[in-house]
């Protein structure tokens, strides 16, 4: 009966109640959405590289090296020589070495030159190896292996011929159309930048840029960066130091975890700003709720007096106002969850292709539930002022 | 124990005022009596009704309702006492407008805890000429006359020993007013309860066992 009374009372004032619920819904949507995207982005970044002990590139900031080698963001400042690669790959402490050569693109997607070690040793998420959805790794000079998103977005099949362009723009003038590549494999989705990458052999990269096809012309002169797996983790710092002190050319080795931590630190400011804005939006909505309830007390004066006359206590009147606020909050939470769910479903494709962000719809985790509980608590606090007002009015001590 | 209401040296002063609003030397209403109380506005009528119902507590003096010193009960017990033993009908706003007729009666039942055998809603509404097709309608869709009769049903739903009625007919036309008075007195006779009927209209006084003017018993504000 108590619940019916509160619900019907709200329905009876639908205009102001609906507006309040709408404001609350928007604010809860923003708050939960920001938190969710934040966590997902973090998880998505952290799962991009796994099992790699050192990333080696030309001297730059460790963040820059991480961004261009792993996330394909920004441009490398300098290359490292083929000799340096060969020397490091042959080092007795090095178990495997993946060369990475960047700088070309296809319709806005980056082209990565590498060798078979990439498919053998590259790991993401929980040390998961790359697997093929269709086809196999590149074998011939002009073979290309597509990331899942590339194949999906451009609708490429095995056997399709594609033209790679120099530079990383979408509409590069210099198309290497003399050398069309053939799709030999399509990777399974990883939720990492691998999905947005086209993989060719290092020789293939050279073939784009040179006209001769002799073995000597196809040997790379330099690569962009390399990923190293070591035989013993204990050697990591020792190897890192000796690479950083390499005499022949300015090299740098970074630990992916340390560089990622630096990335978090930079993002923390942005994250906190977003969270703060979300909290302010919620506070504004709660103040609106409080104002609406206080304004409604005047028109409900007689209703509350009536309740008292038929035997309701002042606490009943207090609890009624609180219950109405909490009901509005619960409706808003439900609407916000539905909106977020449909929103993520509707925009997940755009998020993946534009930002490489894979946002899942399982945002109802323990963290979110704690947030929602706090929102309900804050709502009951905001309803305190109107509820106390109603409590005092119902005492009739004008 | 034969008094339904017994007032002795009662005063009531609002917290932020220096002048007492109520000052009643002595006033008794016997059980099963129907009393007409002449109380135009400005004579402390609402205050007296709130004190009688236990919403307000006397500043000093004795007030006994149905044998209970109501001013000495805790707030919670006064609320329960009101739900169990008192029935109210006011000039207007006797019902929650957006609840149905039945929900209004059930709401009043919910606050009471007495174990008296109760009349069913259906029987009560039938006695008051409220047809069944109105039972599930929100009361705001009923006419004023119908609403006032539902108000009587609401007041009687917990079979109160004391019924207090305040200007119940002033919003009704002559025909509805007569009908209201008739069913009210009928019901009060049936249930053997005590009735205090407050009105400014002396013409109604002849239907009651006794008539008294609030101005005569309340000496507050007199020089």
If asked whether residues A171 and A223 sit together in one domain, one would say: yes
**One domain, residues A86 and A34:** no
Q: A172 pLDDT exceeds 50?
A: no
- Tens digits of residue pLDDT in A320-338: 999 999 999 999 999 999 9
Same domain, A202 and A74: yes
Q: Which residues of A touch B108 (CB under 8 A)?
A: 310-311
Q: Which residues of B touch A309 (CB under 8 A)?
A: 53, 55, 82, 88, 90
Mutate to test the interface with A, among B100, B111, B113, B158 (most CBs of A within 10 A): B111
* Residue A136: partners with Cβ closer than 8 Å, 6 or more residues away: A184, A185
Q: Is the pLDDT of residue B114 over 70?
A: no
- On whether both A101 and A23 belong to a single domain, the answer is no
User: In whole numbers, what is the pLDDT of chain A averaged over residues?
Assistant: 88
User: DSSP class of residue A246?
Assistant: -
What residue spans of A301-365 are helical by DSSP H? 301-309, 314-355
**% residues pLDDT > 70 (chain A):** 93
Q: Which residues of B touch A312 (CB under 8 A)?
A: 79, 111
Nearest Cα residue in chain B from A313: B79
Percent of chain A with pLDDT over 90: 56
Co-location of A242 and A272 in the same domain: no
Nearest to B88 among A8, A309, A397 (CB): A309
Q: How far is CA A103 from CA A338, B128, B206, in A?
A: 42, 90, 106
Q: Are residues A91 and A6 in the same domain?
A: no
Which chain B residues contact residue A306 at CB under 8 A? 93-96
**pLDDT tens readout for residues A193-229:** 898 899 999 988 888 776 556 666 778 889 999 999 9
d(CA B53, CA B49): 6
Residues A160 and A235 in one domain: yes
pLDDT band at B223 (very low <50, low <70, confident <90, very high): very low
- Choosing among A2, A308, A310, which should be mutated to test the B contact, i.e. which has the most B CBs within 10 A? A310
A184 membership: H or E segment, kind and range: strand A181-187
pLDDT at A97 over 50: yes
Residue A192 has pLDDT above 60, yes or no: yes
User: Based on the number of CB atoms within 10 Å of its own CB, is A25 exposed (0-12), middle (13-18) or buried (19 or more)?
Assistant: buried
Could you give the number of structural domains in chain A? 2
Give the other-Cβ count within 10 Å of B173's Cβ: 11
Give tens-digit pLDDT for A274-323.
889 999 999 999 999 999 999 999 889 889 999 999 999 999 999 999 99
pTM of the model: 0.79
Q: Are residues A195 and A65 in the same domain?
A: yes
- Reported as a single tens digit per residue, the pLDDT across A371-390 is 999 999 999 999 999 999 99
Picking from A207, A224, A254, the residue at the C-terminal end of a domain is: A254
How many helices and strands, by DSSP H and E, does chain A display? 14, 15
- Tell me, what's the pLDDT at A355? 67
Chain A residues near any Cβ of chain B (below 8 Å)? 1, 4-5, 8-9, 11-12, 302-303, 305-314, 395-398
Q: Are B75 and A398 an interchain contact pair (Cβ–Cβ within 8 Å)?
A: no
Domain around A356 = 2-45+262-396
- Boundary (domain end) residue, out of A217, A235, A254: A254
pLDDT range class, residue A239, cuts 50, 70, 90: very high
């Amino acid at each position: 009966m108590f619940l019916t009374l509160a619900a019907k009372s709200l329905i009876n004032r639908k205009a102001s109640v609906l507006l309040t619920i709408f404001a609350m819904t928007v604010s809860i949507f923003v708050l939960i959405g920001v938190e969710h995207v934040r966590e997902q982005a973090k998880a998505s970044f952290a799962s991009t590289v796994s099992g790699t002990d050192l990333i080696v590139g030309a001297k730059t900031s460790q963040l820059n090296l991480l961004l261009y080698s792993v996330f394909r963001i920004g441009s490398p400042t300098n290359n490292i020589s083929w000799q340096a690669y060969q020397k490091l790959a042959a080092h007795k402490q090095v178990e495997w070495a993946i060369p990475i050569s960047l700088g070309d693109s296809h319709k806005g997607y980056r082209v990565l030159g590498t060798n078979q070690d990439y498919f053998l040793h590259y790991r993401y998420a929980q040390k998961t190896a790359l697997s093929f959805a269709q086809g196999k790794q590149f074998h011939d000079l002009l073979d290309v292996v597509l990331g899942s998103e590339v194949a999906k977005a451009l609708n490429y099949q095995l056997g399709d011929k594609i033209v790679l362009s120099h530079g990383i723009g979408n509409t590069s003038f210099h198309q290497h159309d003399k050398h069309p590549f053939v799709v030999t494999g399509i990777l399974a989705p990883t939720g990492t930048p691998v999905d947005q990458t086209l993989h060719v052999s290092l020789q293939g990269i050279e073939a784009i840029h040179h006209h001769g096809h002799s073995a000597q012309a196809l040997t790379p002169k330099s690569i962009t960066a390399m990923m190293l797996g070591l035989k013993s983790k204990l050697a990591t710092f020792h190897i890192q130091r000796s690479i950083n002190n390499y005499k022949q050319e300015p090299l740098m080795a970074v630990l992916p975890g340390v560089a990622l931590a630096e990335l978090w630190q930079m993002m923390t400011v942005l994250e906190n700003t977003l969270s703060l804005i979300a909290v302010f939006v919620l506070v504004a909505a709660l103040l609106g709720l409080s104002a609406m309830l206080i304004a409604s007390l005047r028109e409900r004066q007689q209703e509350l007096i009536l309740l008292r006359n038929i035997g309701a206590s002042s606490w009943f009147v207090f609890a009624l106002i609180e219950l109405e606020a909490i009901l509005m909050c619960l409706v808003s939470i439900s609407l916000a969850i539905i909106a977020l769910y449909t929103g993520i479903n509707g925009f997940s494709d755009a998020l993946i292709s534009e930002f490489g962000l894979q946002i899942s719809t399982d945002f109802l985790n323990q963290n979110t539930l704690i947030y929602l509980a706090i929102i309900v608590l804050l709502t009951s606090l905001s309803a305190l002022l109107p509820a106390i007002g109603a409590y005092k009015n119902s005492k009739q001590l004008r | 124990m034969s008094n339904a209401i017994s007032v002795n040296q009662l005063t009531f002063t609002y917290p932020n005022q220096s002048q007492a609003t109520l000052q009643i030397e002595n006033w008794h209403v016997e059980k099963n009596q129907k009393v007409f109380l002449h109380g135009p506005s400005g004579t402390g009528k609402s205050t007296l009704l709130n004190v009688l119902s236990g919403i307000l507590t006397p500043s000093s003096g004795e007030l006994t309702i149905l044998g209970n010193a109501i001013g000495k009960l805790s707030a919670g017990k006064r609320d329960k006492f009101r739900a169990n033993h008192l029935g109210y009908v006011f000039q207007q706003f006797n019902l929650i407008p957006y609840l149905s007729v039945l929900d209004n009666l059930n709401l009043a039942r919910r606050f009471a805890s007495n174990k008296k055998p109760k009349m069913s809603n259906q029987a009560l509404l039938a006695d008051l000429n409220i047809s069944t097709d109105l039972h599930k309608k929100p009361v705001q869709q009923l006419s004023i006359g119908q609403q006032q009769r539902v108000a009587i049903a609401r007041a009687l739903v917990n079979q109160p020993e004391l019924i207090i009625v305040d200007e119940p007919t002033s919003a009704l036309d002559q025909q509805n007013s007569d009908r209201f008075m008739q069913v009210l007195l009928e019901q009060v006779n049936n249930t053997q309860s005590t009735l205090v009927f407050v009105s400014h209209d002396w013409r109604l006084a002849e239907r009651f066992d006794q008539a008294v003017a609030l101005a005569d018993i309340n000496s507050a504000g007199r020089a």
